[in-house]
Amino acid sequence: MPEAAKAREILDGVVQVYLPLPMRPSIVNVYLVRAGDRWTLIDTGMNTEDSVAAFRGALDEIGIDPHAIGRLVATHHHVDHFGTSGPYRELAHAEVYTHPLEAQAAVAIGQIPAENTAYLARHGVPVVPPDRRLPPPSRFFGTWYAPAEPDHLIADEDELPLGDGRSLQVVWTPGHTPGHCCLLLRPDGVLFVGDHLLPKITPHVGLWPGGPENPLGDFLGSHEKVQKLDAKLVCPAHGAVYEDHRRRARQLIDFHRVRKLAMLELIRRRPLTAYEVALDAFAIAADNRFQVFMATVETLAHLELLRREGRALRHEQDGVVRYQGR
């Protein structure tokens, strides 16, 4: 049996719904915002039986008819945020709003054929036999990921009128994903931050093949940007609602500065591949292919920023890329 629905009205007409995830973090928060008798849903959770049952239970608990949800706005395309957008679009007859880069990424996830062994090997990750490689995401996620095609594409500074004097301002915050958006509810001053500004953990920021060239630079820039907003309350996708987005943004900027400097120390001693730096910088198991992959691309994001700052050099020899600190 799925757990009892958990929903909480955090202020008038803003409801936080906790949905279960089959992985860590084990909960994702989605938010319902009322305007008149219509509701807007921000993010959807993962398309598992437990999550859908919890969401339906929450709607019953609060007394919301699914058809009263007219709008579904995504912070980003990841499976725990956008995974049920297809089914909920049908259920509610809602219109889906997403940033174009997230819409593209949602389609691309279904088309990744297999582990990108060449990319990993170029950055020092040992090649393993096919049966130990990562499965394509479409096989790994299966039915958990049922993304909707968007009805509307959103862009930085767009103002989405919800009715009854409320609106959502789109704040494009690339970094965790290229088209990640925070949403500022006006006039209430409630900032829905997706994964950008989590209270306890840092989101993954990685240099993915074919993605933006300086994702950590983008992420840090997005933290400078959100500090300029006026918000009273921060609503994250994982963890509790909190105040003071500026303080948390500064902490996250600082966290990555320290991590970057630790990596710089390592590559000052001798040239290293991103994989070698990752083994030292992250507490990962070398035989856990998923951890190795995530840590290597996150390390690359830091090394590439160091290179752009003029503090590291990159050279490639015999098809392997190494970084050296200056």
**Residue 29 in contact with residue 18, Cβ under 8 Å?**
yes
Least distance from C-beta 147 to Zn ion, angstroms?
Answer: 13
**Residue 221 in contact with residue 214, Cβ under 8 Å?**
no
Q: Which stretch binds Zn ion (CB under 5 A): 135-143, 193-201, 248-256, 267-275?
A: 193-201
Least distance from C-beta 77 to Zn ion, angstroms?
Answer: 8
Dihedral class, residue 203 (left if φ above 0, else alpha if ψ from -120 to 50, else beta): beta
Choose between 41 and 267: whose C-beta lies nearer to Zn ion: 41
Choose between 34 and 78: whose C-beta lies nearer to Zn ion: 78
CB atoms within 10 A of CB 185: 26
Least distance from C-beta 24 to Zn ion, angstroms?
Answer: 13
Give the footprint of Zn ion on residues 155-174 (CB under 5 A).
none
Choose between 208 and 324: whose C-beta lies nearer to Zn ion: 208
Q: Which stretch binds Zn ion (CB under 5 A): 38-46, 195-203, 222-230, 255-263?
A: 195-203
Choose between 21 and 69: whose C-beta lies nearer to Zn ion: 21
Q: Which stretch binds Zn ion (CB under 5 A): 15-23, 192-200, 221-229, 246-254?
A: 192-200
Gap between the Cα atoms of 115 and 309, Å rounded: 30
Strands (E), the chain: 6-11, 14-20, 27-35, 38-42, 69-73, 95-98, 152-153, 159-163, 166-172, 181-186, 190-194, 233-236, 312-317, 320-325
Least distance from C-beta 177 to Zn ion, angstroms?
Answer: 7
- Tell whether the torsion through CA atoms of 248, 254, 193 and 232 is positive or negative: positive
Least distance from C-beta 190 to Zn ion, angstroms?
Answer: 20
Choose between 78 and 248: whose C-beta lies nearer to Zn ion: 78
Q: Which stretch binds Zn ion (CB under 5 A): 72-80, 101-109, 210-218, 255-263?
A: 72-80
Choose between 43 and 304: whose C-beta lies nearer to Zn ion: 43
Choose between 204 and 225: whose C-beta lies nearer to Zn ion: 204
Total site size for Zn ion, rule CB under 5 A: 2
Give the footprint of Zn ion on residues 75-104 (CB under 5 A).
78
Choose between 71 and 176: whose C-beta lies nearer to Zn ion: 176
Q: Any idea what the Cα angle at residue 322 is, between residues 318 and 326, rounded to 5°?
A: 140
Q: Judged by CB under 5 A, does residue 195 bind Zn ion?
A: yes
Give the footprint of Zn ion on residues 221-280 (CB under 5 A).
none
Residue 139 has φ and ψ, to the nearest 5°, of -75, -40
Residues 6+ apart with CB under 8 A from 36: 163, 164
Q: Which stretch binds Zn ion (CB under 5 A): 25-33, 113-121, 190-198, 279-287?
A: 190-198
* Inter-axis angle of helices 245-269 and 215-226, nearest 10: 150
- Closest residue to Zn ion using C-beta atoms: 78
Least distance from C-beta 45 to Zn ion, angstroms?
Answer: 12
126 cis-preceded (ω within 30 degrees of 0): no
Gap between the Cα atoms of 104 and 88, Å rounded: 20
Q: Any idea what the Cα angle at residue 256 is, between residues 297 and 106, rounded to 5°?
A: 45
Coil, strand or helix: which one is 273? coil
Q: Which stretch binds Zn ion (CB under 5 A): 43-51, 73-81, 142-150, 210-218?
A: 73-81
Residue type, 158: D
Q: State the residues that interact with Zn ion by CB under 5 A.
A: 78, 195
